[in-house]
């Protein structure tokens, strides 16, 4: 056992992963390539194999702030799983990026046909969202801000 | 009762005079001071232990040793202590404002250390948030100096912004070291930042380790340590193999003033480094 | 030791007591003992035994202390007063070191010399004798010794006086620290006042105690009658304690009741004034105080008593860890009776009852612990918390939960 093992979809059974794999292909993005953009239809999702993706936001009059980065094993994109299936952030390849790319519409159909797989995937995606929510809340605390941290200060 | 204090000269109640020989600005409010004994020096510090550092006329604060250097004069007498200090209160602001040549008083070494010997033979994770890297730096040095003793080694750092990362030059050098994974995540990236954005906890997903045989050394704000330790336990790292460095008010360092109590623990004596099997339940009681 | 002392010790009269004070003073000791001042029996330097509170007793209750006249003229028929011996062994304010800054910025630090004071404490009650042993362990029993305490303590000659007249707030019997004197004294006295007169059974605990005792005038041998009367009086005192702790493992009880509702109840009454910590004979917490003179180049470090009831006590950069009164009272009580065992190998409570008497709102530590015990019993009938609530009597431990280091049955309480 070693972490990350199977990454975001590790909780699925081998059979379930195989079923999803049939709906996926390997893909690569060159450094700086935009993977998706806020407001576009969320028709695909990715699991990062190698490299890093940055989630960013478009703001007027300045560079796009990066709110989070994702690395190997991470699920890139969850808006495809929930209506209205529209990206709420943008994503860009932060350096050369190798991914497994899934056809979101096809996966949703499989989930509807196979509720056991659908439930397993819902738990996996929900887990990722919960994890990111926790991390975001931690960052809201601004732990390293004016209040000091550390053992003996 | 054994006759104690006499055997540990200079470490009990009275500080020994040291002199600032170098002052390195780390971030906007944090400096690393290199201190050299003016006469006799203190006993050697183990990684993770702390000293009480006295700013003349202002008072003392507990400060972990963030490194040791051989001084010019050689021997114990010349051994320099590095202390990384953030200006947050009257005393630490006083220390922050010191210049080379200024005198300070130092007592120690106090408390428990990281004790990396227990980690030998397994994978090692060092997880630091903000200033928490300071007490961990001597441990990272140990991991770099004796790679053959450990399995896969990862150093994961979290900070508010890239400018708040401590020891940036050294961290870059660590990244180049063979077999050492170094990851850094900031809450707010700036232009030119090539690391991660997010929490240091998220970086755990990048590190390679075999949880049952992994030893983790964690230091940072308490909330960050709690989140990190819980995630590690969830991933299968045994609680007693997760060591955290805790912070409570400390005035004496010798277990006499009573301020650093955390339930049954006197942190200056039984800590600051504790296993999560002990620390976790205590931190779970509000206002303990 | 004179051969006639036998196993029962020697018998001295009030004249012998006066001679004891004279002799200790002649030997260069500062004799400190109880005396009446400002409406209380206080501890102060004595020039002669005449200053002892002959004929004074006390009435104690939660939040109440009153002197009262006694008909029998007894000198030690009063229980704990507002001070304890820590006033002398661990003074409220002590200089630890001085630092001078030279023109080149270099520091010179001078340790305060260990005090050369040579005390004789006359009238150390068994609870306070235990308290001194507890502070010995805290302040000199670990890796580091407190040099100031060590200096004062090393030279102190302890004359214990056993308790025959417990107060309404006393509970030393349930803490295993009285009413008979435990180890640690140089000389132990038991006061007997009856139809046969006013006298003291005296027993040495050290060579120096034996040497002093040998030099005192004796009363004629009475065939062990005084010794018998003394034993009866001390044994009787054990049955007349005004308060008691529940006979369970207090350490386990407190470990299991950190979130009890009772803490809210007591917090609603507690003023967090810290009186209990000031009068407690074992409370040892201190804070540093740094001062400089007008030149700015001479600084001193002082140590002053501090209290865990002070909001600043647990201050971190973000604020105090224990901001509620509830958490501060809980810290004090759980430390005293529970986590003290973990930290120093014994209970921190000796059952003297001072914290009950001097609480301005009359909070009673024994009542609070009984309430916690009752709540635990109601809440965990299965006994899962280990507090012994389920087994109650069956879970009784020797000496009321006093752990290692606590001598259970003290000498002097025998038949």
- Across the A:C interface, residue pairs with CB atoms under 8 Å apart total 4
Is residue B12's pLDDT more than 80? no
Is residue C407's pLDDT more than 80? no
- For A69-103, the DSSP string reads EE-TT-EE--GGGSTT-B-SSEEEESSSEEEEEEE
- pLDDT confidence bin for C133, thresholds 50/70/90: very high
Tell me whether residues A135 and B198 touch, CB distance under 8 A: yes
Which ipTM value was assigned to this complex? 0.91
pLDDT for C374-405, tens place per residue? Answer: 999 985 444 444 444 444 433 333 333 333 33
Distance CA C82, CA B70 (A): 55
Confidence at residue B136, expressed as pLDDT on a 0 to 100 scale: 98
Confidence at residue A6, expressed as pLDDT on a 0 to 100 scale: 55
Q: State the DSSP code for A38.
A: T
Chains that touch A (3 or more CB pairs under 8 A): B, C
Distance CA A26, CA B183 (A): 26
Domain B10-110 belongs to what topology?
A: Elongation Factor Tu (Ef-tu); domain 3 (2.40.30)
Dihedral (CA of C132, C134, C139, C141) sign: positive
Distance CA C198, CA C213 (A): 18
Confidence at residue C6, expressed as pLDDT on a 0 to 100 scale: 54
Confidence at residue C7, expressed as pLDDT on a 0 to 100 scale: 58
CA distances from B136 to B223, B243, C53, C303 (A): 18, 11, 61, 32
Average pLDDT of chain B to the nearest whole number: 92
Extract the tokens encoding C77. 């028929």
Candidates B209, B224, B235; nearest CB to A143: B224
Of the candidates C240, C178, C231, the residue with the CA atom closest to the CA atom of residue C203: C231
pLDDT for C266-303, tens place per residue? Answer: 999 999 999 999 999 999 999 999 999 999 999 999 99
pLDDT for B217-257, tens place per residue? Answer: 999 999 999 999 999 999 999 999 999 999 999 999 999 99
- pLDDT confidence bin for A62, thresholds 50/70/90: confident
N-terminal to C-terminal alpha carbon distance within chain A: 37
Residues of B in contact with A135 (CB under 8 A): 198-199, 201-202
Delimit the domains of chain C by residue range.
7-238, 250-401
pLDDT for A27-42, tens place per residue? Answer: 999 999 999 999 999 9
Of the candidates C76, C26, C30, the residue with the CA atom closest to the CA atom of residue C52: C76
What distance in Å separates residue C315's CA from the closest CA in chain A? 13
pLDDT for C58-114, tens place per residue? Answer: 999 999 999 999 999 999 999 999 999 999 999 999 999 999 999 999 999 999 988
Mean pLDDT, range B107-113, rounded to an integer: 96
- pLDDT confidence bin for A56, thresholds 50/70/90: very high
- Residue pair C53/C43 in contact by the 8 Å Cβ criterion: no
Delimit the domains of chain B by residue range.
10-110, 116-283
Q: Which CATH number fits domain B116-283: 2.60.120.200, 3.30.70.260, 3.40.50.80, 3.40.630.10?
A: 3.40.50.80
Tell me whether residues A153 and C318 touch, CB distance under 8 A: no
Residue in C318, C319, C320, C321 to test binding to A, most A beta-carbons within 10 Å: C318
Confidence at residue C397, expressed as pLDDT on a 0 to 100 scale: 37
CA distances from B6 to B12, B13, B124, C96, C337 (A): 9, 11, 38, 16, 31
Chains that touch B (3 or more CB pairs under 8 A): A, C
- Residue pair B131/C317 in contact by the 8 Å Cβ criterion: no
* Segment B232-239 long-range contacts (CB within 8 Å, at least 24 positions apart): B232/B125, B232/B204, B232/B276, B233/B276, B235/A3, B235/B204, B235/B211, B236/A1, B236/B211, B236/B212, B237/B125, B237/B209, B237/B211, B237/B212, B238/B212, B238/B277, B239/B275, B239/B276, B239/B277, B239/B280
The length of chain A, given as a count of residues:
153
Contacts of A14 (CB under 8 A, 6+ apart): none
Which residue, chain included where needed, has tokens 């007249």? C165
Q: Is B48 on the interface with A (CB under 8 A)?
A: yes
Extract the tokens encoding C411. 């000498």
Around Cβ C118, how many Cβ atoms within 10 Å?
Answer: 15
Q: Which domains does chain A have, with CATH numbers?
A: 13-140 (2.60.120.10)
Is residue B186's pLDDT more than 80? yes
Is residue A126's pLDDT more than 50? yes
- For C95-144, the DSSP string reads EEEEEEE-TTS-EEEEEPPPP---EEEEEE-HHHHHHHHHHHHHHHSSSS
Distance CA A81, CA A107 (A): 9
Distance CA C122, CA C116 (A): 19
CA A13 to chain centre: 20
Confidence at residue C162, expressed as pLDDT on a 0 to 100 scale: 97
The H or E element that residue C230 is part of is: helix C225-238
In B, minimum Cα distance to C326 occurs at B287
Q: Is B227 on the interface with A (CB under 8 A)?
A: yes
Percent of chain B scoring above 70 in pLDDT: 93
SS3 call for C329 = helix
Mean pLDDT, range C29-53, rounded to an integer: 97
Query: Which 81-120 residues of chain B touch chain A by CB within 8 A?
Result: 85-86, 88, 92, 111
Mean pLDDT, range B66-83, rounded to an integer: 78
- Residue pair B213/B121 in contact by the 8 Å Cβ criterion: yes
In B, minimum Cα distance to C283 occurs at B258
Distance CA A13, CA A124 (A): 12
Confidence at residue B72, expressed as pLDDT on a 0 to 100 scale: 60
Confidence at residue C9, expressed as pLDDT on a 0 to 100 scale: 85
């Amino acid at each position: 056992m070693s972490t990350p093992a199977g990454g975001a979809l590790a909780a699925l059974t081998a059979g379930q992963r195989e079923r999803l794999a049939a709906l996926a292909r390997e893909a690569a993005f060159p450094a700086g390539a935009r993977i998706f953009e806020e407001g576009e239809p969320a028709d695909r999702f990715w699991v990062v194999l190698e490299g890093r993706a940055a989630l960013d936001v478009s703001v007027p009059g300045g560079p796009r702030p990066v709110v989070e980065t994702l690395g190997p094993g991470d699920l890139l994109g969850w808006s495809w799983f929930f209506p209205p299936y529209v990206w709420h952030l943008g994503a860009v390849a932060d350096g050369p990026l190798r991914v497994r790319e899934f056809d979101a519409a096809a996966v949703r159909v499989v989930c509807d046909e196979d509720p056991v797989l659908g439930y397993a995937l819902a738990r996996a995606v929900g887990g990722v969202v919960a994890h990111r929510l926790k991390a975001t809340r931690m960052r809201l605390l601004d732990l390293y801000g004016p209040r000091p941290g550390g053992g003996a200060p | 009762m054994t006759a104690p204090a006499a055997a540990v000269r200079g470490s009990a109640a009275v500080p020994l005079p040291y002199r600032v020989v170098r002052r390195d600005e780390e971030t906007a409010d944090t400096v690393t001071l290199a201190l050299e004994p003016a006469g006799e020096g203190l006993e050697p510090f183990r990684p993770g232990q702390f000293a009480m550092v006295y700013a003349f006329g202002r008072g003392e604060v507990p400060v972990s040793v963030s490194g040791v250097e051989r001084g010019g004069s050689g021997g114990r007498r010349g051994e320099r202590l590095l202390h990384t200090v953030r200006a947050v209160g009257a005393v630490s602001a006083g220390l922050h404002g010191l210049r080379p040549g200024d005198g300070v008083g130092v007592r120690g070494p106090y408390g428990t250390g990281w004790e990396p010997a227990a980690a030998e033979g397994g994978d090692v994770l060092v997880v630091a948030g903000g200033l928490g890297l300071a007490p961990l730096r001597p441990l990272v040095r140990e991991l770099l100096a004796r790679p053959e003793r450990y399995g896969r080694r990862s150093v994961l750092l979290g900070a508010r912004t890239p400018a708040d990362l401590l020891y940036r030059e050294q961290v870059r050098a660590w990244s180049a070291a063979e077999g050492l994974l170094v990851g850094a995540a900031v809450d707010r990236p700036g232009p030119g930042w090539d690391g991660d954005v997010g929490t240091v906890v998220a970086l755990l997903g990048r590190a390679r380790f075999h949880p049952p045989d992994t030893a983790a050394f964690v230091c940072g704000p308490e909330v960050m340590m709690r989140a990190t330790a819980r995630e590690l336990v969830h991933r299968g790292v045994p609680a007693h193999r997760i060591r955290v460095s805790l912070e409570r008010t400390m005035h004496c360092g010798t277990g006499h003033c009573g301020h650093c109590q955390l339930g049954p623990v006197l942190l200056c004596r039984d800590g600051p480094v504790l296993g999560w099997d002990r620390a976790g339940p205590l931190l779970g009681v509000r206002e303990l | 030791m004179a051969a006639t002392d036998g196993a029962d010790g020697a018998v001295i009269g009030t004249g012998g007591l006066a001679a004891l004070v004279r002799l200790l003073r002649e030997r260069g000791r500062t004799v400190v003992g109880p005396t009446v001042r400002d409406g209380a029996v206080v501890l102060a330097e004595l020039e002669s035994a005449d200053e002892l509170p002959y004929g004074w007793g006390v009435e104690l209750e939660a939040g109440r202390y009153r002197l009262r006249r006694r008909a029998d003229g007894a000198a030690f028929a009063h229980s704990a007063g507002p001070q304890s011996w820590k006033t002398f062994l661990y003074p409220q304010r002590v200089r630890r070191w001085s630092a001078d800054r030279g023109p080149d910025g270099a520091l010179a630090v001078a340790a305060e010399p260990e005090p050369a004071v040579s005390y004789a404490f006359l009238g150390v009650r068994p609870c306070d004798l235990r308290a001194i042993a507890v502070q010995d362990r805290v302040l000199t029993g670990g890796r580091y010794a407190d040099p100031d305490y060590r200096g004062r303590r090393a030279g102190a000659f302890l004359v214990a006086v056993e308790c025959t007249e417990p107060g309404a707030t006393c509970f030393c019997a349930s803490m295993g620290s009285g009413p008979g004197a435990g180890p640690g004294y140089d000389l132990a006295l038991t006061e007997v006042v009856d139809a046969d007169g006013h006298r003291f059974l005296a027993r040495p605990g050290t060579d120096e105690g034996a040497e002093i005792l040998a030099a005192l005038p004796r009363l004629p041998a009475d065939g062990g009658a005084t010794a018998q009367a003394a034993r009866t009086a001390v044994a009787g005192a054990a049955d007349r304690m005004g308060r008691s702790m529940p006979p369970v493992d207090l350490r386990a009880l407190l470990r299991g009741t950190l979130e009890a509702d009772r803490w809210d109840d007591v917090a609603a009454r507690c003023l967090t004034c810290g009186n209990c910590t000031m009068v407690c004979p074992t409370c040892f917490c201190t804070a540093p105080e740094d001062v400089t003179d007008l030149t700015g180049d001479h600084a001193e470090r002082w140590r002053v008593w501090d209290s865990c009831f002070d909001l600043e006590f647990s201050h971190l950069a973000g604020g105090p860890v224990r901001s509620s009164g509830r958490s501060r009272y809980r810290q004090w009580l759980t430390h005293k009776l529970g986590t003290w065992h973990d930290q120093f190998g014994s209970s921190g409570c000796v059952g003297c009852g001072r914290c009950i008497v001097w609480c301005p709102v009359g909070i009673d530590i024994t009542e609070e612990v009984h309430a916690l015990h009752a709540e635990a019993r109601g809440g965990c009938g299965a006994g899962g918390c280990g507090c012994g609530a389920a087994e109650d009597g069956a879970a009784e431990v020797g000496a009321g939960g006093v752990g290692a280091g606590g001598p259970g049955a003290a000498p002097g309480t025998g038949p």
